[in-house]
Structure 1
Amino acid sequence: MTGTTPERGSVIRYSYLWADENARGREEGRKDRPALVLALSIKEADGRTEVLVLAVTHRPPTEATDAVAFPLELKRRLGLDDAPSWIVTTEANAFLWPGPDVRPVPDRTPTTVVYGRVPNGLLREVARSYLASRERQRNRVVARTE
């Protein structure tokens, strides 16, 4: 189920840990949610893949530059709900794939952790927003453990 590493742009089901929750000492996410795989890197020491994911949330961003709107038509195609959602670009979770916080998508046969993939244009928009947040020193990355 989780053996195959997802591609950049994949939307996975993941127990995302918000940076502010982590700062308060939490080690586990409060709920499973869609998360966008923004980047992958191979660890030279052991060849394992580190994944950088961004949370998808229903909460509108405080500032427009803090997130990218998740198009409703795409949400429907991936089997997500119809509520407005955003991809948060001011923080991320980083973990070694597959990690203990990856979850199966409910009601999918065969079992999978991947909802689907976003188009390259949306992925580029999210990457630009994430990098702009990093340049403004507004990014926080939560390193998740196994």
Structure 2
Amino acid sequence: MKDRPCAVVLVTTTEDGEDVVTVLPITHSPPADSLFAVELPAATKKRLRLDAERSWVVLSEANRFVWPGPDLRPLPNAGAGSAVLGLLPYKFAEELRLRLLAHIKARRAHIVPCTE
């Protein structure tokens, strides 16, 4: 399986105090339908130290898991063995959340709960 960056679009806390994240994958593959992807701005990619190729956040399927999850990989350019590159701009993150929610309500997207 290929390691890929993702956008965290929601963080909640369980009654047991565990953080649960909902993430969307980021890919270099252009979307077949622009309804289900949002291009990651070049300035944001540069600030997060991602490559210069065009990338899209995929809205058709989200994953949800307890943070940190078993599939997270430390990133060499994140510092101190972290899997976090930084924050998305608020307006961009809000667009992702709202579009994902609209797709879920319309049954055009779903959230996959990941288990260990």
For residue 111 of structure 1, report the CA deviation from its aligned partner.
Answer: 2.3
Equivalent position SS for 1:113: coil
Structure 1 spans left out of the alignment, 5+ residues? 1-29
For residue 50 of structure 1, report the CA deviation from its aligned partner.
Answer: 1.1
Residue in structure 2 matching 1:69, options 31, 35, 39: 39
Residue in structure 2 matching 1:50, options 20, 25, 38: 20
For residue 138 of structure 1, report the CA deviation from its aligned partner.
Answer: 1.0
Moved over 6 A (4+): none
| Structure 1 partner of 2:110 | 140
Is 1:110 matched with 2:110? no
Equivalent position SS for 2:62: strand
What letter corresponds to residue 31 of structure 1 in structure 2? K
Q: Distance in 1 between matches of 2:88 and 2:29?
A: 20
CA RMSD of aligned residues (A): 1.2
Q: Distance in 1 between matches of 2:64 and 2:53?
A: 26
For residue 60 of structure 1, report the CA deviation from its aligned partner.
Answer: 1.4
CA contact (8 A) 1:35 1:55 kept: yes
- Percent sequence identity is 41
| Structure 1 partner of 2:10 | 39
For residue 107 of structure 1, report the CA deviation from its aligned partner.
Answer: 4.0
Residue in structure 2 matching 1:120, options 90, 97, 100: 90
Q: Which has the higher contact order (CA 8 A, sep 6+)?
A: 1
Q: Comparing both structures, which one devotes a greater share of its residues to strand?
A: 1
Structure 2 spans left out of the alignment, 5+ residues? none
TM-score (norm 1): 0.74
